[in-house]
Amino acid sequence: MNKPVMILGAGGLGKTASDIFKANNIMVYGFLDEDTTLHQTEIQDITVLGSVEDDAFFRIIGDDCEACIAEEDMEKRAELAKLLRKKRKKMPMNVVHPKAILEPSVLLKHGNFIGAGVYVGSAVEIENNCLIYPNATLNHQVQIADFVHIGAGSIINSGVKIGQKAFIGSGVTITSGVKIGENARIVAGSVVLQDVPEGATVFGVPAQNV
CATH label of the domain that carries residue 173: 2.160.10.10
Strand partners, 105: none
Written as tens digits, the pLDDT of the chain (210 aa) is 589 999 999 999 999 999 999 999 999 999 999 999 999 999 989 999 999 999 999 999 998 999 999 999 999 999 999 999 999 999 999 999 999 999 999 999 999 999 999 999 999 999 999 999 999 999 999 999 999 999 999 999 999 999 999 999 999 999 999 999 999 999 999 999 999 999 999 999 999 998
d(CA 75, CA 82): 11
**Domain boundary pick from 73, 93, 113:** 93
Our count of domains for the chain comes to 2
CA distances from 202 to 21, 138, 182 (A): 35, 20, 13
d(CA 15, CA 132): 16
Same domain, 118 and 158: yes
pTM (2 decimals)?
A: 0.96
Residue 210 is predicted with a pLDDT of 83
Same domain, 150 and 170: yes
Same domain, 180 and 76: no
Same domain, 117 and 191: yes
Using alpha carbons only, how large is the chain's radius of gyration in Å? 17
d(CA 73, CA 19): 20
User: Which strand (E) or helix (H) includes residue 20?
Assistant: helix 12-23
**Domain boundary pick from 93, 119, 148:** 93
Same domain, 193 and 100: yes
Per the CB < 8 A criterion, the answer to whether 16 and 10 are in contact is no
Same domain, 104 and 204: yes
CB within 8 Å of 53: residues ≥ 6 apart: 34
Biggest distance spanned by C-alpha atoms of the chain? 52
3-state class of 184 per DSSP? coil
Same domain, 43 and 122: no
C-alpha angle 56/25/109, rounded to 5°? 75
- Sign of the dihedral defined by the CA atoms of residues 6, 7, 8, 11, in that order: negative
Same domain, 69 and 148: no
Distance between the two ends of the chain, CA-based, in angstroms? 50
| CATH number of 74's domain | 3.40.50.20
Provide the annotated active-site residues: 140
d(CA 93, CA 68): 5
CA distances from 115 to 13, 135, 149, 196, 206 (A): 10, 7, 12, 26, 27
The residue segments making up the domain with residue 10 are: 5-93
3-state class of 38 per DSSP? helix
Same domain, 106 and 63: no
